[in-house]
Amino acid sequence: MNETNLTTEIKTEPNIGNRFAAGIVDYIIIFGVTFFLVFTLGEPNDAGGYSLNGLPGLIPIVFWLIMTVGLEVGFGATAGNYLVGLKPIPKSGTNRKLTFKESFKRHLLDPIDMLFFGLVGIVTIKNTELNQRVGDLWAKTIVVPIKSLSEIKMR
């Protein structure tokens, strides 16, 4: 089956609940590990909290990169997306893992999509033809149910 047939056969859906749950799972893991690192490796600061200084300060950033971009590039989905049965793919509809560039662009805009408790992401998903959030629009990606990809493959 060629790429154009896949594009017409794949139907995107808003999947707001699943996408929200996937984001919650991913960022609970990321923030949990970050807080653990800050309190175990961090040093007390003047404000009464803890700070990661120097090279240890890069560990949470590297962990974020692995948990979002690394998992998408390596396994096809983040932990949260995998748990709820979603997979990001290129806008063309090709069933493949995202490239580093595509995944990085998607996740670099996560903070914008999560503004106002995810309202920005929800509004863009609901008002774009392919149910894309801001990060997906920039990266030219879509998010589809994994089962829809396997149904097309079986035909």
pLDDT at 152: 60
pTM of the model: 0.85
Give CB contacts under 8 A, 24+ apart, made by 104-112.
Answer: 104/69, 105/135, 105/138, 105/139, 106/72, 106/135, 106/136, 106/138, 106/139, 106/141, 107/68, 107/69, 107/72, 107/135, 108/135, 109/133, 109/134, 109/135, 109/138, 110/23, 110/68, 110/135
95-106 residue pLDDT tens: 899 999 999 999
For the cut 80, the answer to whether the pLDDT of residue 153 exceeds it is no
141-151 residue pLDDT tens: 999 999 888 76
Residues comprising the chain, all counted: 155
What average pLDDT is seen over the chain?
Answer: 90
25-49 residue pLDDT tens: 999 999 999 999 999 999 999 998 9
